[in-house]
């Protein structure tokens, strides 16, 4: 099985490269990788890379993770964290591929006394959490089964 791992140089992707290897061919890409690259701030780049590689599973481990900087670069954070996951979901449907997308606990308020569960109500306090929540919603709206 061909697995596309987005976010090649991140901490999460670094570990996932080893973990996913037993499932098939793992192609890890990011903005600077070659011969294939992907720029999550550019919808055309997303479509070109994913359609060109034709994976059976898309794993999005990339994000705009600068929590404090996101407050000043909201449009960029919104594109990478909020819009790009929806585009990935649309292409996954087109390719009949699975989608695994990593989010964050920043989609919650941080005020709970118990650990959060997926079913808990979201209440992000900052741009980073809001944009990550936008990405979750974008995937849900496409209607693809996802993790």
**Distance between CA atoms of 107 and 76, rounded to whole angstroms?**
18
Q: Which residues contact 144 (CB under 8 A, 6 or more apart)?
A: 89, 92, 93, 99
CA dist., res. 36 & res. 52, Å (int): 9
Residue 122 CB contacts under 8 Å (≥ 6 apart), including other chains: 107, 108, 133, 136
Residue 64 annotated to the active site: no
Separation in Å, CA 108 to CA 17, 65, 111, 112, 116: 28, 16, 8, 9, 8
Known catalytic residues are: 128
């Amino acid at each position: 099985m061909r697995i596309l791992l987005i976010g090649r140089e991140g901490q999460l992707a670094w570990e996932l490269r080893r973990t996913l290897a037993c499932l098939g061919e793992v192609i890890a890409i990011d903005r600077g990788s070659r011969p294939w690259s992907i720029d999550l701030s550019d919808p055309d780049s997303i479509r070109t890379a994913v359609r060109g590689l034709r994976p059976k599973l898309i794993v999005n481990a990339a994000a705009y993770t600068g929590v404090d900087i996101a407050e000043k670069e909201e449009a960029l954070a919104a594109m990478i964290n909020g819009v790009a996951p929806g585009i990935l979901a649309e292409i996954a449907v087109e390719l009949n591929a699975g989608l695994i997308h990593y989010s964050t606990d920043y989609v919650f308020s941080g005020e709970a006394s118990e650990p959060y569960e997926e079913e808990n109500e979201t209440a992000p306090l900052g741009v980073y959490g809001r944009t990550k929540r936008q990405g979750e919603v974008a995937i849900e709206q496409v209607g693809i089964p996802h993790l």
